[in-house]
């Protein structure tokens, strides 16, 4: 059932397809103002951020500094109030809601702290979901989902529902779901926030592997230990980038 072409494509990841120098993320002068009644709050106050294909970047900062706001913008879940955002060369600010949803589906794979799996669906059906919005046959969807689950070490849990899996296994299903559509960007918001230390190591090891294979990974985290796994650390405070360092 496994199609070798699909398997190769999935394993090769973004590295094989990004021969150009187009950054995956190109954010310039990014501002985000929230309005609550008559009160305005500027959660992003002029952020410039460029992330190249294959980078592994941690975004860190205190509570309320704007990390989730930034993640929502990067993942096309929300739009800027001012400034520009290009995702893999595409000018996101120009798009309407429907186009934005399409870009999100095609270009971004999400991993959240709470896993966000559908409890009534098996692991393989959860992983197939992002492909249902595409022009892909049922057989191919299934084959790609199986390959993605094998990739995260869950080839023996295809038919288990989330409630029949450990937290770490559920998060690996979420990683498989994020990868199945071969996105340009893997975006993870506190992906180990709900995991014990063993599962944390597991999931971080998986992200390391994906990075080694050329995936672009952006991780938002509170935890220094988690941030230390990334090659580059971007620190956010009060809606601004206050440092941006590439580690050893």
Which residues are at the interface with ligand ATP (CB under 6 A)? 34, 36, 41, 43, 61, 63-69
- CB of residue 131 vs ligand ATP: minimum separation in angstroms? 29
CB of 69 to ligand ATP, least distance (A): 3
Residue among 68, 72, 81, 160 that touches Mg ion (CB under 5 A): 68
Closest to 31 (Cα-Cα) out of 93, 90, 97: 93
Backbone angles phi, psi at 45, to 5 degrees: -120, 35
Which of the ranges 47-55, 61-69, 95-103, 208-216 carries the binding residues for Mg ion, by CB under 5 A? 61-69
Q: Could you tell me the CA-to-CA distances from 169 to 1, 110, 159, 187 in Å, in that order?
A: 23, 16, 13, 18
Tell me which of Mg ion, ligand ATP, none is bound by residue 38, counting a contact when its beta carbon lies within the kind-specific cut-off of 5 to 8 angstroms.
Answer: none
**Least distance CB 220 / Mg ion (angstroms):** 7
Q: Whole-angstrom Cα distance, residue 216 to residue 232?
A: 12
What count of Cα atoms within 13 Å lies in the side-chain half-sphere of residue 231? Answer: 12
User: Which one of Mg ion, ligand ATP, none interacts with residue 36, CB within 5 to 8 A by kind?
Assistant: ligand ATP
- Residue 171 contact among ligand ATP, Mg ion, none, beta carbon within 5 to 8 Å by kind: none
Does 6 bind Mg ion (CB under 5 A)? Our answer is no
Rounded Cα gap, residues 89 and 214, in angstroms: 18
Q: Is 113 in the site for Mg ion (CB under 5 A)?
A: no
Any idea which residue has 């199609």 for tokens?
A: 3
- Binds 65: which of Mg ion, ligand ATP, none (CB < 5-8 Å by kind): ligand ATP
Non-local (6+) Cβ contacts of 139 within 8 A are: none
Please report, as ranges, the residues that interact with Mg ion according to CB under 5 A: 67-68
């Amino acid at each position: 059932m496994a199609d070798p072409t699909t398997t190769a494509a999935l394993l090769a990841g973004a590295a094989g397809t990004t021969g150009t120098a187009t950054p995956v993320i190109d954010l310039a002068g990014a501002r985000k103002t929230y309005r609550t009644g008559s009160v305005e709050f500027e959660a992003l106050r002029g952020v410039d951020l460029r992330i190249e294909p294959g980078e592994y970047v941690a975004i860190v900062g205190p509570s309320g500094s704007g990390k989730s706001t930034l993640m929502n913008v990067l993942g096309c879940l929300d739009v800027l109030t001012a400034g520009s955002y290009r995702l893999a060369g595409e000018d996101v600010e120009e798009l309407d809601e429907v186009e934005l949803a399409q870009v999100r589906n095609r270009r971004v794979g999400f991993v959240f702290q709470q896993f966000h799996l559908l409890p009534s669906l098996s692991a393989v059906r959860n992983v197939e979901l992002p492909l249902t919005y595409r022009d892909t046959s049922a057989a191919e969807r299934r084959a790609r989902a199986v390959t993605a689950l094998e990739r995260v070490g869950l080839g023996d849990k295809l038919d288990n529902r989330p409630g029949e899996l450990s937290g770490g296994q559920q998060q690996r299903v979420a990683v498989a779901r994020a990868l199945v559509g071969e996105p340009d960007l893997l975006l993870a918001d506190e992906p180990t926030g709900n995991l014990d230390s063993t599962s944390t190591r597991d999931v971080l090891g998986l992200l390391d592997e994906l990075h080694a294979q050329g995936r672009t990974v952006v991780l938002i985290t509170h935890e220094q230990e988690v941030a230390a796994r990334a090659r580059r650390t971007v620190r956010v405070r009060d809606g601004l980038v206050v440092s941006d360092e590439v580690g050893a």
